[in-house]
Chain A
């Protein structure tokens, strides 16, 4: 168990809370680029409601409630000089300064004393990221998957009804894979007579966690594997504080867990498809965004696919898991390590320093390459098959293009150096 007090400290994200302050050192995606057209959009991030708008090449972010009489800036007019509330026409510059109050007397200086809260936004890899912390803002980290070319991308999304930390703890809980996505998956699929999972069922023999520059690297040895396999030698990272990198066999993914407020998490599955082989992919016009369903028609969690099972496990712990009533064992050491890391980083921030993984050095930010095994679970294609058919990708609008790309890549390899061919297929 964990004390109630510490549980509060580790989970609450609002302004002024310790964790809220730590989390405000990082950038978070709040929308896909394709979602922001000429009309403003509203989002919630770290417990604050914000409105985003596009003005030429720039993106403005302003507090959602107009400082005048609190109407939503989501229903505002975007203009040359900024954003104008639709209710009484108060105009705000991109820095939040009130520039006009049309109904006030012409000689009034009242506007000079009104400044709305604004934040910074940047686009990268088809997503819009927002930074809500203090100045100077750190760089938006250009992680490999956001900047690679010659690949296909899509973004799955779901708004989830639970605290973000439950989601992150799952990323240092490798044992759940064989149970939730193996045995439980097969129980559910068995009932409906669907095909059984095999690869994800394999038993974990050893797991390890190492802190590195951007988070925690997770390693595993599965039954029948050795420490020479990539799952142990390379592993894959939890990117601190709110992201997981996972994939295998030419499919790469960030799972980005954006803390919306204390009890909601905006989840992006950011997929990149870049198999080994010879091929040319034309740049996509925009990265397609699709909603990942999490409920069935009865309102129960959809548990016949990997990501739905994860969502069930995160959400069914409750809005904020009562960690004063849990029973951790040795297999939970990854979770314990993550909580301790957060607690240490809270302390670091209270001391005035940047926490883990904050990037301020331009010279390393062209492309930050993260480690990730390719031959996941000792195989590439077998894992990929289950991941593509049993993961959220099954809802992707470009699923057929992705499969075609993999076929093309495989053909190019079969025609050339046979060494590349994955013998386990």
Chain B
């Protein structure tokens, strides 16, 4: 294939931003999550999850940016 300039088009996917750097710091110890740590995005249904391992404090987390909090309504007395 001939070399050409410019980025290839992307289809419509769940991602409309560049996920790089969305979870920049460890929620536990505050260390910067650089390339020595592990940040991996995945999706469960319409929920976006970042699976995180912090190289400094060794914690493993799932970070879920939350746009809307939903809950059930308890039965009224």
- Interface set of A (CB-CB < 8 Å, partner B): 1-6, 9, 324-325, 327-330, 332-333, 336, 339-340, 343-344, 346-347
Contacts of B20 in A (CB 8 A): 1, 3-4, 324
Contacts of B41 in A (CB 8 A): 1-2, 328
Which single residue of chain A is at the shortest CB-CB distance from B53?
A340
- Interface set of B (CB-CB < 8 Å, partner A): 10, 13-15, 19-20, 35-44, 51, 53, 55, 60
Contact in complex: B55, A347 (CB < 8 Å): yes
Interface residues of A, dominant DSSP? helix
Q: How long is the Cα–Cα vector from A347 to B58 in the complex, in angstroms?
A: 10
Contacts of A5 in B (CB 8 A): 35
Contact in complex: A1, B51 (CB < 8 Å): no
Given known contacts A1-B19, A327-B14, is B44 in contact with A339 (CB within 8 Å)?
no
Contact in complex: A329, B42 (CB < 8 Å): yes
Given known contacts A327-B14, A336-B51, is B38 in contact with A343 (CB within 8 Å)?
yes
Instruction: Indicate the member of A1, A4, A324 with the most B CB atoms within 10 Å.
Output: A1
Q: A3-B39, A343-B36 are in contact. List 6 more A-B contacts (CB 8 A).
A: A1-B41, A9-B35, A329-B44, A336-B40, A336-B51, A343-B55
Q: How long is the Cα–Cα vector from A312 to B41 in the complex, in angstroms?
A: 25
Which single residue of chain A is at the shortest CB-CB distance from B47?
A330
Which single residue of chain B is at the shortest CB-CB distance from A323?
B40
Contact in complex: A3, B35 (CB < 8 Å): yes
Instruction: Indicate the member of B19, B38, B41, B60 with the most A CB atoms within 10 Å.
Output: B38
Which single residue of chain A is at the shortest CB-CB distance from B19?
A1
Q: How far is the CB of A318 from chain B (nearest CB, A)?
A: 13
Q: How far is the CB of B68 from chain A (nearest CB, A)?
A: 20
Q: How far is the CB of B19 from chain A (nearest CB, A)?
A: 5
Which single residue of chain B is at the shortest CB-CB distance from A324?
B20
